[in-house]
Structure 1
Amino acid sequence: MAHPIALKQLNVFVTVAQEGTITAAAEKLFLSKPAVSMALAELEKQLDHKLFDRNNNRLIINEQGKRLLPLADELLARSQTIEQLFNQTGPATGQLRIGSSDTVGNQLTPFLLRDFRHYAKHDDQSLFISNTSQICHMLSEFELDVGLVEGKVQQADLVIEPWLADEMVVVCHPNHPLTQIKNLQICDLEHSEWILREAGSGTREFYLNRIAPRLEHWHQAFELNTTEAIINCCAAGLGVTCLSKFAVQHAVNDHRLVILPLPLDMQRQYWLLYHKEKYQSPLMEMFLSFAQQWHFSQ
């Protein structure tokens, strides 16, 4: 009779799927490389299926592995819930791994977490901030439970729900020549020096979809991967940018930047994401419901 599949084997499988190599998985799990290789080999033998395609030192999850991943993720989440069942006094147990794109993660998610902790009496959450495309990739790999992003997402394996709305604004230094123009129009932005986020950022995508097509001549002066760096470059007079009103408000209040009044719809939607096959623990269900009803206040 075959041995039952052990949680340790499933944990090794999920970690290898996420890390891509035995070496990286071993480091993350604090195990030796032979121990990781053996656990994976035993699991593949018990299932009578290979779960990865071997390519040099990399292990690329195959179709069989992709079928197993959501089930393994669910079993590990349930076992974690059991382990923590008697350690916490509140109704919610387990850990919640949240990913946010830059603007949302810096401006909104900390306040959402503050309010959720107060509401749920639960404080075991992690927050990872990157650009929208990276958050989507991590949700696909089951490395995150929930994503809160500003970029438009089209990904078949994710549930994509509209979340909060925001307004985008074009800002510059208070002494920039554009601040002197009355009844400013989009055409006045021709030949401007723009400071933009990197590829994969929802903020950059908004600029390229909504503003850039209306300009014949624009130049990217800098490409930076944090909003704060962009704000500081604009405050130093190095160019203009398009950012979330939430993100620039502090710099506008300090008179380091001014918002240029443009006759353009600059509304932007934020999105709440999770994997279609992700096991929704009571904690995750509670968080999703709370996030959908939440209103931002500092």
Structure 2
Amino acid sequence: MASAIALKQLKVFVTVAQEGTITAAADKLFLSKPAVSMALSELEKQLDHKLFDRNNNRLIINEQGKRLLPLADELLARSQTIEQLFNQTGPATGQLRIGSSDTVGNQLTPFLLRDFRRHADHHQQSLFIANTSHICHMLSEFELDVGLVEGNVQQADLISLPWLADEMVVVAHPEHPLAKLNQVSLQDLEHSEWILREPGSGTREFFLNRLAPRLANWQQAFELNTTESIINCTAAGLGLTCLSKFAVQRAVADQRLVILPLPLDMQRQYWLLYHKEKYQSPLMELFISFSQQWQFTV
């Protein structure tokens, strides 16, 4: 090659791969569009390969680009570690980008990060909360380092490690007729209206895979994209819902909701995810190891 590949070019390449357009990448990098286009063109010229397929204004990463992406991500991570090596007093350096699905992100991850910070003396983490499918997409695009989700993920490019166990519960308004029963059967749930999460949510997946097939007749009353909105709608008497016991414990303690006693195994597994080609920095290895040994305490 005529000249060495610059880290700036790799950063532009990774950002374009994540954002999909020159305009969005330029905004994220605080660069002009011509500067982004030039850096990308120079990189493709040096490698003698196109890294993207052009489709109108969108740039879709091609097979050559997909081969480069994990290597570019690794080099950028290593360079960041070098830059921060002498700016941090603890043993772990660098930025850690964590993604969590809604229930995990709101109920567990804040406490995990609290304990990890105390353990590692490391405070440079970011947290992004979305549904399981969105977290998986961001891991695939190398926008996140680690994902913590409740959905059972079957995705070839992601490593999926069992993490914490949880229990799902069916809850209702305290004045709901089923709340008066000492034991609730599946037959009692027939013809009920349900408040569910949106497609792509691990909580919705659990209901559709484990509970819905056992019911001959059920209706979806509402589809909402946050656990808190589902709790509020259920507390308003708009239907039943199936949520994590972690998520509803405060509403149950406040007597806004009651757990219906069902003769079902409602256990589920949470998962820790990362890309199989993701460079595991010492910081990432430390976080994964800590997470696997961690026990939840408020």
- Both structures adopt the same fold (TM-score exceeding 0.5): yes
Shift of 1:219: 0.5
Match of 1:204, SS state, is helix
Shift of 1:183: 2.7
- Maintained 8 Å contact 2:182/2:261: no
Instruction: Find the counterpart in structure 1 of residue 189 from structure 2.
Output: 189
Residues 147-200 of structure 1 show CA distances to partners (whole Å, capped at 9, x for unaligned) of 000001000000000000000000000010111234310110001110000000
Shift of 1:210: 0.7
Instruction: Find the counterpart in structure 2 of residue 77 from structure 1.
Output: 77
Is 1:44 equivalent to 2:15 in the alignment?
no
Match of 1:211, SS state, is helix
Q: Distance in 2 between matches of 1:207 and 1:17?
A: 34
Shift of 1:220: 0.4
Instruction: Find the counterpart in structure 2 of residue 214 from structure 1.
Output: 214
Instruction: Find the counterpart in structure 2 of residue 18 from structure 1.
Output: 18
Match of 1:160, SS state, is strand
Match of 2:53, SS state, is strand
Instruction: Find the counterpart in structure 1 of residue 286 from structure 2.
Output: 286
Aligned length: 298
Residues 235-258 of structure 1 show CA distances to partners (whole Å, capped at 9, x for unaligned) of 111110000000000000000000
Q: Distance in 1 between matches of 2:85 and 2:10?
A: 21
After superposition, the CA RMSD in angstroms is 0.6
Match of 1:238, SS state, is coil
Q: Aligned partner of 1:297: which letter? A: T
Match of 2:104, SS state, is helix
- Maintained 8 Å contact 2:174/2:256: yes
The list of structure 1 runs, each at least 4 consecutive aligned residues, that deviate by more than 4 angstroms after superposition, is none
Match of 2:225, SS state, is coil
- Within 5 Å, give how 1:74-113 maps onto structure 2: 74-113=74-113
Is 1:262 equivalent to 2:268 in the alignment?
no
Q: Distance in 2 between matches of 1:187 and 1:214?
A: 9
Q: Distance in 2 between matches of 1:282 and 1:162?
A: 21
Q: Distance in 2 between matches of 1:57 and 1:73?
A: 24
Q: TM-score, normalised by structure 2?
A: 0.99
Instruction: Find the counterpart in structure 2 of residue 33 from structure 1.
Output: 33
Is 1:271 equivalent to 2:249 in the alignment?
no
- Within 5 Å, give how 1:138-177 maps onto structure 2: 138-177=138-177
- Within 5 Å, give how 1:119-130 maps onto structure 2: 119-130=119-130
Is 1:8 equivalent to 2:8 in the alignment?
yes
Instruction: Find the counterpart in structure 2 of residue 135 from structure 1.
Output: 135
Shift of 1:139: 0.2
- Maintained 8 Å contact 2:100/2:127: yes
Q: Distance in 2 between matches of 1:222 and 1:159?
A: 33
Shift of 1:271: 0.2
Match of 2:122, SS state, is coil
Structure 2, gaps ≥5 residues long: none
Q: TM-score, normalised by structure 1?
A: 0.99
